[in-house]
Amino acid sequence: MKRAFRAGGFAGAGAVLEEEIDALSRVPAFNCMTRHLLESALRITNGARRYAADAEARGVASPAGLSRALLSMHLTTLGEAARLDRRAAPLQAEGIPIICQDVPPIPPDAPDAPDAPDAPIPPGAPDAPDAPDAPDAPGAPFPPRRMNSRLQQHKVRLRGLGL
């Protein structure tokens, strides 16, 4: 995947993802979590190109770094997805569709979003980056540094439940 991304960017990564998804789709009752993550990653690669073009047309910074981070996060979890699929395989072989019924197929492309207004959002408007309820704004309800500690608390609780 890294070679494909280095050689062809998001399009190159997308081509590899399509091949992998096609191979997994030949046996639809198994490897469902892995396929789900790969489908999501493919959607990310397809969206990344559209978002970059939209940003360029609007004269704003490219979101490619954010798309790369999101893609990387998905690919990083593939090992855990494969372990989960291996644990589910004996049940799936008995006809129990665990995981396969729990994660939906993800289409490779999002439907076109409505066009955003051409005018920039004024500072302080509800959707502006500096709005009080924006996730990264000062005073936001869940700033990222606090979110990490909350996620850690949830992980500890889940481990206590045996999850």
What average pLDDT is seen over the chain?
Answer: 80
CA distances from 13 to 46, 49, 64, 71, 79 (A): 10, 12, 14, 10, 18
CA distances from 108 to 68, 117, 156 (A): 17, 26, 35
What percent of the chain has a predicted confidence (pLDDT) above 70?
67
For 117-131, what is each residue's pLDDT tens digit?
Answer: 444 444 544 444 554
pTM summary value: 0.69
Would you state the structure tokens that stand for residue 115, as one six-digit string? 């066009």
For the segment 148-161, the average pLDDT, to the nearest whole number, is 55
Mutual angle of helices 2-25 and 64-76, in 10-degree steps: 50
pLDDT of residue 2: 85
Would you state the structure tokens that stand for residue 98, as one six-digit string? 């665990």
Would you state the structure tokens that stand for residue 2, as one six-digit string? 């890294």
pLDDT of residue 39: 97
Q: Is the pLDDT of residue 160 over 70?
A: no
What percent of the chain has a predicted confidence (pLDDT) above 90?
63
Whole-angstrom Cα distance, residue 114 to residue 94? 45
